[in-house]
Every structure is written in structure tokens, then in C-alpha cells.
Structure 1
């Protein structure tokens, strides 16, 4: 009896602390995966631009098409961002296996990579857009519109509520969960090994158990984040939209883990990622390259 009372009191204190915390993201939603219970909500039904969170949808649609993941894709001028003029470390003319292009689009949020995945979709970009619309309907994302694969266009809009549905669906794809939780990877670009990093600094940080991750940023969308995390025995999905800075987005994630999920071990500073990619990962990629 005393244990139940203590647990209830602790839960009440945690909820009160979460309510008192001023979250900087304009839209916030935290949902407990096992029960569907909403643990924290702020403007969760507000329709806003979603930036590169879009790429989770792009990845699902590409994987649904069951294309040859070893097929080489050449990055073309058509893949270059002429809307926001964003930079890319993937040069035009590079030929990269589709699985590595997917890695670049998700882990490093590369826009040329995402654009090339849509361009080489069976039937081309228009067929890709149609497939995205069907996927949105199938997932019940009633307040979502996605017009292109990168998220650069502010017409790609959704709500935190819909994005939890997207994250839940994306987490059922082993390739997406693996890629988005890789801290870094080596990819062969024009015969040279190039190291790329995850855009989410919390991936690989000490004490963080992350099952899915995707960041996003445009001027219109602000700093955005989707994560599936495990903390204090809870599995939860969190969505943060339109934070004013990366530091605000990270602080919100830390406060969710501490006050909403009740993880007292959380520290204010995320530890740096491990410096080395695992040997197993190197071996896997070396074997794959020999077959291409």
C-alpha cells in the first residue's frame, strides 16, 4: 500500500514539475508507446511546416516500393536545392548505392539524397508524390500535406499529433530505426571514404536509449525533432516543433526525459558520441562495397 502511495505521489510531483517547465518548442507532444497515454501536450493540433521530418515519410515510401537497395543512383543537377540553396556534401555526379543514399537522407538529412530517392522512384517524382498521399491516408494523418521529399518546401505541413502516427509507422521499418540511430557512418563517395554524422547530437550520447530519431530545420519550421526514447522504464514518442534554436530543442528533450518520463539520471549536458564506428559496421559496409 505504501509503495503504491509513494509511486502515486512521485508521479504527481513529476507531472507538476513538467507543467512548471517552460518548453521552448511551439508544439510539443509526448505519448507513452505502450498505453497511448498523452504525457505532455502543447499546441499538438497546430498545423505547421515540418522541414526534414518529411524524410521519414520519404524513407517509408521508398522502402515500400521494394527497389533494389544495391542499385547505384547518380546524383544529378535536378537533385540540387534551388529553393533554399542548402549545402550538401554529396557532389553532383557521385554514384552511390540506394541503401547509402537512404542513409545520407535519414542520418545526415541530406537534401540531394532525399531528392534523388524520389526522382528514381518507380514512375518518377509524380508517382512518388502519389504514393506519399496514399501513405498519409493509410496512416490516418488527416492534417498532413507533403508536396516534396526533402521538407525544404514549407507546404510540407503537419501536426505533432499526426507526426506521432508517422513516427510509430516508421519505427516498424528496421532499416529506418537502424539508420536514424547510427551516430555516424563511412560512405564511399567517388572512391573516397567520407564520414557523415547524425544530425541529432543525442544519438550515441551517454545514457540515451533512442529507438528512432529525425531532426528538421527551415526558417519557416524552426528546429524540429522526432524521437522514440526509453527512459525510467517508459517507452515514449516525443515530437518537438518550431523551437527557436538547436539548444532550445535539446533542452526541451532533456526536460521531457527528466520531468515527463521521470528519469532522475538525466544530466544537463549530453555526452559526446563515441569516436569510432563499430567494427561490425565497418565490416558490413566493406563487404557490401565489394559486391557493388
Structure 2
């Protein structure tokens, strides 16, 4: 007969053996992992793989066994140069170190030129086009409460840009005008031209006729949004356009509106002004419009009052979205500190029209 103490000892030894047996696979796994980490990579790691392995979004790290999620490295294409860059206008230096390759500042009352830089160059003008669109719609005295439906014809096939106004959206002509001038809504601007008496072709004809009537001899329009690079003008002509648009109270109000809401079905869409300077208390802006397509660069025109003078500013082909606003700030500070100075820039590049 076995002794009780001996039996308990056997049970203890058996339990320890079971624990050891269970722990052995885990210990071997940990040892295996340590060996994998310390083991040198057998494959060469390229510089490109080293670079992408530090990004959180990249799952594949060179040497890892999880090769299923390898990242494909694509070199981004360089940005498309603007027409002004192609023409070498960015090489022009000016006294204010502006980032726009074209600039013009004039006294609205006396037409005195305070500052100019490549102001006769003819370039794409992007959504600055919408000022003329607004002039034509307003002068036609069309009912602003007439409801207009956004159709497939209003969808951008030129640049493939998106819009919050879906096909089938119904808004009044006045609402479309507001969104076009304040937020540069392309479908809104196109719908305004499409529903003009006689259609889009008649509208564009009126745009060019009005430009000619105003003496804008460097200007040409082919559509009402500015998405086409064939809509072109010069800073001199655009100053004339700003002056004409500023004479219209509706265009002044809509273009300088800080924000606007429209009801679309069961949704309410909030739109904001594309020019943040309209909310800046340091600025007194009577009319403004921004614009951008790659061929035109960043553009801005404004009517404003500085140091007691009503001024028209034109900035074309700026390097960045904020740099055009920075140029406006530079001009404002310069006018405030030098109200009678008139620096001008004479550039060697002689450009009348650039077709890219």
C-alpha cells in the first residue's frame, strides 16, 4: 500500500510536468521571434523601400514576412506650368517682391497707375471670367426668382472638377448668381449662361460684345465659367472689367458676401467666400473675384479703399492660393506708407498673347 506523503509528491511532480509541457511551445515561439528580429535581411533594401517604410500608411517593410501588402511607389508628376511660367514672366523682379507674375494697381477715380508689372501680358483668367458672366445676366434684367435646374450639360468636362450642386438641383437664378460670384460655383455659372435667351452661344456672344464695348481689346471668352484656358485677358482689361462690375450694386453685394446657405431638397448647403480678405476688418472691399486653373495660376481682382483712395487691384499667375492674398497685403501696406509713390516694373519679356 502506498504512503500518503508519497502519493502527494507524485501529484505535485505530475502537475509541474504538465505546466512545463504547456509553457514549452510559447517559450519556443518567443525564442523564434527573437531569432527572426536579430537575423540579418537576406535581400537588399533599396533607398526607395527605406523611405516608404517609415510611413504609417505603408504596410510592407523590407524584410518583413507580410509581403502581401506591398506598397507601389509612384513618383508624383511635376505640376503643370502656367502660361506665365512658360513665357518666363516669373523672372521679372519688382519693388514689392510680389509672387504674382502680373500685377496692376490703379486709382479708380483718376485712372492713375500706382503699380504695374507685366500688365499687358494676355493670359488665361480662370474664374475671373465670372465677373463678365454676372454683368451679362444682370444687365439682361432676367427674373432673379426664376427657378433653374442643374442639368448634365452643366457638368464640367473641361477639367473634371466636382460640384456640390448635383444634377437635378433646382435653385433660383439669384441663388446661382450668388454662388457663382461668391464661391465661384462652376455649375451655377454654366447654368446662368445656358438658360440665357438664345442659349449658351448667345450668352458667350454677349460676353465678347460687352468686352469690346468696354474697350477690352485683349479679352476673349469662350464659355461663362473660366474653366477653359481660352478665356484670356490682360491686367489692363481686367481693371476695366472690375470698374464696370463695381458699378452694379448686385455684383458688389454678391461678390463680397462672406457666406451663403442654399436649401437643396432636404439638405442645407453652406457656402463661403473664396476670398478670406472679405472677413478681414483691415480691408474695405467693394468687389472681388478669385480664380484658378493650372494654366492661369492663382488670380485675384478687387476694388478696395486704402488710405482714403479707391483702388483697383489685379493679380494674375500667382504661385499659390495664399500668395495672391499676400501680394494684396503687400500692396496695401505699401500704399498706406507711400501714398504718392509710383514704382513701376519694366520687364524684358514682351508678351501679347500666349497660347501655351
Q: TM (normalized to structure 1)?
A: 0.82
What aligned pairs does 1:184-199 form with structure 2 within 5 A after superposition? 184-199=259-274
Matched, 1:104 2:179: yes
Residue in structure 2 matching 1:180, options 214, 236, 255: 255
Which residue of 2 is the match for residue 66 of structure 1?
Answer: 141
Aligned residue for 1:232? 307
Structure 1 residue 261 displacement after superposition: 4.3
Residue 202 of structure 1 aligns to a residue in which SS? helix
Give CA deviations for 1:150-191 in whole Å, capped at 9, x if unaligned: 000000000000000000000011110000111101111224
After superposition, the C-alpha distances for 1:49-92 in whole angstroms (9 at most, x for unaligned) are 00000000001011111111100000001000011011111111
Q: Deviations over 1:117-157 (max 9, x none)?
A: 00000010111011112101111000000110000000000
2-structure distance, mates of 1:62, 1:262: 40
Kept in 2: contact 1:232–1:263 (CA 8 A): no
Q: Distance in 2 between matches of 1:192 and 1:210?
A: 31
2:90 is equivalent to residue 33 of structure 1: no
Instruction: Find the aligned partners of 1:249 and 1:167 in 2 and give their Cα distance.
Output: 17
Partner residue, 2:207: 132
Per-residue deviation, 1:216: 0.2
Of 74, 78, 96, 1:21 maps to 96
Question: In 1, distance between residues paired with 2:129 and 2:153?
Answer: 19
Q: Secondary structure at the match of 1:220?
A: coil
Question: Which runs of structure 2 are paired with 1:73-92 in the superposition (5 Å)?
Answer: 73-92=148-167
Give TM-score, length-normalised by structure 2.
Answer: 0.68
- Name 1:43's counterpart in structure 2: 118
- Per the alignment, residue 216 of structure 1 pairs with 291
Root-mean-square deviation over aligned CA pairs: 1.5
Once the two structures are TM-superposed, the CA of residue 101 in structure 1 deviates from its matched residue by 0.5
Which position in structure 2 is the counterpart of 1:115?
190
CA distance, structure 2, for counterparts of residue 33 and residue 227 of structure 1: 11
4+ residue runs over 2 A deviation: 260-264
